[in-house]
Amino acid sequence: MAEPPQRNSKTDRGERPSHVGPLWRRSDQLAAATLTLLGLVGMAAYWFAQGGAQGRLLDVDHAPRRDYAFQVDVNSAEWPELAQLPGVGITLAQRIVERRETVGPFLNHDDLLEVRGIGPRTLEGIRPYLLPLVDPSNVAVHGQVQRPVKTDP
């Protein structure tokens, strides 16, 4: 009758037995070391090519400021876009959208004064960020341009 296999207390507890060799073969270790060395050499070569040795790298803390043009169409923007305007938060942006949905599109920027919470100072602060509004007399409805009707006095 065959003897039952012996149990090793170290392997039963999940420990590595002392007679087991390294996790990677020698050739695998050499390949990993070679790839790591090539990566480091490549990063150093890139740094030199970009002017790192001469100090020509871009210092983010001292980079020139770049301005961007952020403009919003108040008749199509949703409240998250409007909330990014200076002096306009979430609540005010939601009021702008609510007013637009209940009363209709804004015909000019001064119509924003009808929104509770927007005064002349707030309007002047956001005016540079507002896209020009379309003249409603030049809007085509069902293929025809609507012109204002002139009445003789």
Identify the domain containing residue 46 by its residue range: 24-53
Residue 5 within a domain: no
- Let me know whether 85 and 131 are in one domain: yes
Q: For the CA atoms of 124, 125, 131, 136, what is the dihedral angle to 10 degrees?
A: -30
Q: Provide the pLDDT for residue 134.
A: 74
Low-confidence residues of the chain: pLDDT under 70: 1-20, 57-60, 63, 135-153
- Pair 89, 129 in one domain: yes
The end-to-end CA distance of the chain, in Å, is 123
The pLDDT of residue 150: 47
Neighbours of 73 (CB within 10 A): 14
Whether residue 148 lies inside any domain: the answer is no
Instruction: Please indicate, yes or no, if residue 68 is contained in any of the structural domains.
Output: no
The predicted structure's pLDDT at residue 64: 74
Asked whether residue 73 is assigned to any structural domain, the reply reads no
- In the chain, the number of structural domains is 2
Are 33 and 27 in contact, with CB atoms under 8 Å apart?
Answer: no
Distance of alpha carbon 129 from alpha carbon 63, whole angstroms: 25
Number of C-beta neighbours around residue 146 at 10 A: 12
Same domain, 132 and 89: yes
pLDDT at 140: 61
CATH number at residue 94: 1.10.150.320
Query: Is 111 inside a domain boundary?
Result: yes
Among the three residues 36, 53, 70, which one is the final residue of a domain in this structure?
A: 53
- Classify residue 83: in a domain, yes or no: yes
